Amino acid sequence: MKRARPYDRDVALEAAMTLFWEKGYHATSLKDLETALQMKPGSIYAAFLSKENLFGLVLERYFERNRAEFVSMMESEESPLLALAKFLRRFGRSEQSNPKGQACMLVKTLLNATQDDAAITKKVTTYLDLMESEMAAVFARAVKAGELPQNADVQRLARRYQSDLTALRIEAHRGLKPHELEASANEVADNLLAQRLQ
């Protein structure tokens, strides 16, 4: 009996993330997964239990990667507000190298979720809330550093920041010209820095 070819879990998860990100959860078929992961159906289920579980692992991978990138960027500047602005500006430039201009996978998943996707919706909402908390922590550091007023609502500022990022990603996804996307990102960054007290 021929043994199944061993698989590389990281490679498989990367392939699944690319596929799910592009097509969405519901539009991705088992046949699509077979092709992308180069695995037979039985091997996919043995490794990942179910399509929903595989999707959950992919969402976690996507979230952790994005959070790590954000945290790393926030630690690269002494000024919290400058770090936040730098992240926005870099986003405007980096999306130019992505011809698909894909929207945030978490937001895309949330918008495409159905009533039967309660577990997926809960997971995505949790990740978005955690990301907002990371952003709020940076705004809180900006208050502590004297860059924002002591009475600044850091949670509201974080929600606005996350909304601005989501809007930029949607513009990139729908094909905004590179120079226009960069200009939009710079405008949002400039508006953020306009709130700086020092």
* Domain annotation for the chain: domains and CATH numbers: 55-193 (1.10.357.10)
CA atoms within 13 A on the CB side of 167: 12
Between CA 22 and CA 16 the distance in angstroms is 10
What would the pLDDT profile of 185-197 be if each residue is shown by its tens digit? Answer: 999 999 999 999 8
What would the pLDDT profile of 128-162 be if each residue is shown by its tens digit? Answer: 999 999 999 999 999 999 999 999 999 999 999 99
What pLDDT sits at residue 2?
A: 46
Q: Is the pLDDT of residue 97 over 70?
A: no
Angle between helices 51-74 and 41-48 (to 10 degrees): 60
Between CA 28 and CA 169 the distance in angstroms is 22
- 9-32 in b/e form (b: 16+ CB < 10 A) is eeebbebbbebbbeebbeebeeee
How much is the average pLDDT of 122-131? 95
What would the pLDDT profile of 11-61 be if each residue is shown by its tens digit? Answer: 999 999 999 998 999 999 999 999 999 999 899 999 999 999 999 999 999
What pLDDT sits at residue 99?
A: 46
DSSP letter at 152 equals -
**What does pTM read for this prediction?**
0.87
